[in-house]
Amino acid sequence: MSISLYGFILGLFLWAALSAKASPRDPAQISFLGAWSLVASLLGFVPMAAVLGGFVLASRPRPVVEIVFPAPFHRSIFGQELVRRGIILMSIGVIVMAALVGLVFSRLYTIPAWLGALRVAFVVLPIVGLWWLGGHFSFYLVSRRGGSLQSVILFGSLFPLLLGPPLLMANVIFAPSSPAARILMAPALPFTELLLGFPLGAPELLVIGLTWAAFGLLAVLALRWPYEINEGDGIPVGPTAGGLSVERAPTPGFLRHLAIRLRFRYVDFGGGVRALLGRNLTLSMRSPHLLINVMTAGFVVLLGALLLISPGRRVSIAPLIMGMIVAMVAPLGSPSPAMEVGQLDLIRLLPFRPRDLFSGYVALPAAYVAAWSAVIGVVAIVTGIPVVLALLLFGAFGSMGLAAASLAFLAGSLPIPSALRSAAMESPVTFSPWLFPAFLIVMIEIIPLFFVWGTPSVFPLLEFVAATNMLLFTLFSVVGIARFARPL
């Protein structure tokens, strides 16, 4: 039944994408490099989807597993059900994002909104799905082995995330016809052409078809896999998983050793809400925030350097990628209520007014976002971009980051599913699922910018993005403060 449903959706997408005759109003207006960068970035970001995929089984509510599926029962049904829900949720997320992007497309080109949405969904779904399921399987399989291997997988996933887009850019700039560049560009090209409505040849159709086939195959496999779920198996969601029992402190693993070695001294700013600010600054320099901040800095500096040394305006798209990274990691670079689900009781009991709590949490990401957006604006000016455009970039990325950070604050006040609540009791670091719309919002806003970059349309769109995000920031802040003013 499920396979038939997926098959029907796949068929609908394929028919719509290939049979449509609509073409852009002015093909020359389209930035092919922009569209390609978008798809290439998507390929570069999929390790993140893979990491998220790994948490499918980790978020299972163990007491429920124990009670509903006691030892003699085959618990694989439970794992399969989690995967099924995961695939459905992922598909809904992609389709919603595609629908909104399709609406923007319809305003920019003669492409009907539904067709634009279908093209985006058809391109994004198999790429994200393939890596998500790949991540799910790799995490499940290594969870049968040990913690060190999981660390290797995690870092292996982060490596392309860190270096993928800069490497792609470097190849495009310096050796566009080199075999390495061709190999790097090849996976993204067919999808880019499909996204823009270019005629597709047999090789392109083959690549797209194979990607969809691999996604479908992996989905069927994941839905039928005989998972062995027992207490202590799956992804270790907390330090208790490393110890023999909760009474025994776990043996520090590689990540914990790293966290201990890279200890940033505690910053004591003084009393009241400054205490929260000091604690947050300290934690932003420790794992896992430290890792995210180092990655952001590496990304932005590397892309900025590439942009500065590139000949002409060949990689003028780089500021958009830099801004996308800054806005996406804004809620992750320092603690937020959405990332302290387990510790929220401690936070809510502090003798702070909700608006002080808000300031204590949002001040730091706001400062980070302002600083990085300023760097992007300056780099853009140095490379010859008009000052007005650089200011608009600063405003758009700064407001995107602010909106994301305020959503991370609000997310901590929203109830979370019981499965995650159960995991929060065991895990030291638990994300609220309400944090994820922040990434979705950034993606929805940034995708149209890739398409209009280099055209006059970029000015009104950046203004619109900045205004919308300031509105979202105000809304999330007011609702977040109001929600923290009363018990859950």
Binding region for another protein (CB under 8 A): 238-240, 243, 246-250, 252, 256, 259-260, 266, 268-272, 274-276, 278-279, 282-283, 286-287, 340, 342-343, 345-346, 348-353, 424-425, 428-429, 486-488
Give 3-state DSSP helix, strand, coil % of the chain, rounded to 5.
75, 0, 25
Take residue 485 and report the two structure tokens written for it. Answer: 């003013």
Q: How far is 173 from 166, CA to CA, in rounded Å?
A: 10
Please identify, using beta-carbon distances, which residue of 159 and 264 lies nearer to another protein.
264
Please identify, using beta-carbon distances, which residue of 161 and 291 lies nearer to another protein.
291
In the complex, what is the shortest distance from the CB of residue 253 to another protein, in angstroms, rounded to a whole number? 10
In the complex, what is the shortest distance from the CB of residue 405 to another protein, in angstroms, rounded to a whole number? 19
In the complex, what is the shortest distance from the CB of residue 259 to another protein, in angstroms, rounded to a whole number? 6
Please identify, using beta-carbon distances, which residue of 209 and 428 lies nearer to another protein.
428
Please identify, using beta-carbon distances, which residue of 1 and 247 lies nearer to another protein.
247
At 152 the three-state DSSP class reads helix
Please identify, using beta-carbon distances, which residue of 178 and 251 lies nearer to another protein.
251
In the complex, what is the shortest distance from the CB of residue 359 to another protein, in angstroms, rounded to a whole number? 14
Buried/exposed 86-101: b ≥16 CB within 10 Å, e otherwise: bbeebbebbbebbbbb
In the complex, what is the shortest distance from the CB of residue 435 to another protein, in angstroms, rounded to a whole number? 17
Please identify, using beta-carbon distances, which residue of 354 and 454 lies nearer to another protein.
354
Take residue 412 and report the two structure tokens written for it. Answer: 């901590």
In the complex, what is the shortest distance from the CB of residue 284 to another protein, in angstroms, rounded to a whole number? 10
* Cα–Cα distances in angstroms (integers) from residue 471 to residues 36, 63, 360, 409, 478, in the given order: 31, 42, 21, 16, 11
Alpha helix segments (H runs only) across 109-246? 113-143, 147-174, 179-185, 188-196, 202-224
* Cα–Cα distances in angstroms (integers) from residue 161 to residues 9, 97, 425, in the given order: 30, 21, 30
Take residue 328 and report the two structure tokens written for it. Answer: 């996406």
Task: Please give the distance of CA 332 from its chain centroid, rounded to a whole number.
Answer: 10
In the complex, what is the shortest distance from the CB of residue 31 to another protein, in angstroms, rounded to a whole number? 42
Take residue 116 and report the two structure tokens written for it. Answer: 């634009």
Please identify, using beta-carbon distances, which residue of 179 and 271 lies nearer to another protein.
271
